Every structure is written in C-alpha cells, then in structure tokens.
Structure 1
Amino acid sequence: MGDSNTSFKPKINSTAQDPVLKSAEIAYMKLIEQKNRERVQKLQQIAKKNRITGLALGGGVLSVYLYSIFAVKQETFLDDFEEPVKVQQP
C-alpha cells in the first residue's frame, strides 16, 4: 500500500488558497439565501394551515361519531318489543 501519508488527501492551507469571491457572486449568494428563507417561511405557514385543517376535520369526524353513538344509545323502539304469542296447532 505504501506510505500512510499518501493514502490521505493533503491538508489545505486555508489562508494561502482561499478563493476570492467577486462582489457579484456574494450578492447572488445573498439573494439565494433570502429566497430560501422566504421559501422556508412559506412552507412553514402551509404546514401550520394543514395541521389546523387536519385537526378541524378530525374534530368534525369525531363529533359525528360520538353523536351517532349517543343517539343510538337513546333508541327505545326495541325496548317495548314483545315476542308474538305462538299459536299452538291442534
């Protein structure tokens, strides 16, 4: 395999080889960062609205379910049901 120093990438001297960014590149990077912040804020607002809508729909479904269970418990039409008298055959 050889020397262990050759298997690794050489270290970079950050002070000597720093790329010099042009002012146009820096302005473009700032523009991209601003657009990204706006996009993230918009997505967060949409996610919040989606959660509120989901909770409202879930609450509506739960309320209909609970109402139907409560209404069925109050039904009394089967309570007075009497079995018909059996007619005996001679």
Structure 2
Amino acid sequence: MAAPGAGDPLNAKNGNAPFAQRIDPSREKLTPAQLQFMRQVQLAQWQKTLPQRRTRNIMTGLGIGALVLAIYGYTFYSVAQERFLDELEDEAKAARARALERERASGP
C-alpha cells in the first residue's frame, strides 16, 4: 500500500488535494524537460487569462478615453463661456458709457 499523498489524488486523512509547490528555477537545479514543462504551463495559464485581460484593458482604455474627452469638452465649454461673459461685460461697459453720455447731454 502506498503512503497517503504519494500518487493519490486526494489525501486520505483530510480529503484535500495536494497543492503545487512554488519553486525558484534559479535556485533549484531543474532538468531541461522540467523547464520546458514549466514554460508550457505558464503559456497555457497566460492564454487562459488573455481574454479577461483583454476585456479589462479595453474597458480601462475606454474609461480613460472618456475621461480625456470629458475634460477636453469641459475646457472648450468653459472657454466659450468665458468669451461669452467677456462679450456681455463689454456690452455692459458700452451701455454704461452711453448712459453717462445721455446724462451729460441732458444735464446742465
């Protein structure tokens, strides 16, 4: 009979599956076959998460683009509003000047 956990998919004592250990390839001596297998697994994991990352990247890009367009639009709006207020102020000055001239003309 084999030892628990040695080849068994489930540990007989607590019913948990064994976890893969994290290793550092630079510290441990690995065979070329093990390194190739690690690369294959990493590539498979990367390809598995690619659609999720692509969607997230697209959503982030659209969000940033919308923010930039909103700031750009608000800037144009505020500059146009500022010009409008400047024009109103110029018209008000002209109206005051005309009123002063009328007062002087109708005065003594």
Q: Decide: shared fold, TM above 0.5.
A: yes
Alignment-derived partner of residue 53 in structure 1: 80
Looking at structure 2, the residues matched to 24 and 35 of structure 1 have their Cα atoms a distance apart, in angstroms, of 16
TM-score by length of 1: 0.61
TM-score by length of 2: 0.51
Structure 2 residue 94 is matched with structure 1 residue 67: yes
In the TM superposition, what is the alpha-carbon distance from 1:78 to its structure 2 partner? 1.6
Looking at structure 1, the residues matched to 98 and 55 of structure 2 have their Cα atoms a distance apart, in angstroms, of 64
Q: How many residues align?
A: 61
Choose between structure 1 and 2 for higher RCO, CA contacts under 8 A separated by at least 6 residues: 2
| 1:39-80 CA-partner distances (Å, limit 9, x unpaired) | 111101100001101100100111100110011111233225
| 1:7-37 CA-partner distances (Å, limit 9, x unpaired) | xxxxxxxxxxxxx872110110001001111
Q: CA RMSD in A?
A: 1.7
Q: Which has the higher helix share?
A: 2
Alignment-derived partner of residue 107 in structure 2: 79
Give percent identity, aligned residues only: 0
- SS of the aligned residue for 2:105 comes to coil
Structure 1 gaps, min length 5: 1-19, 81-90
Runs of 4+ more than 3 Å apart? none
> What does residue range 1-90 of structure 1 map to in structure 2 within 5 Å?
22-75=49-102, 76-80=104-108
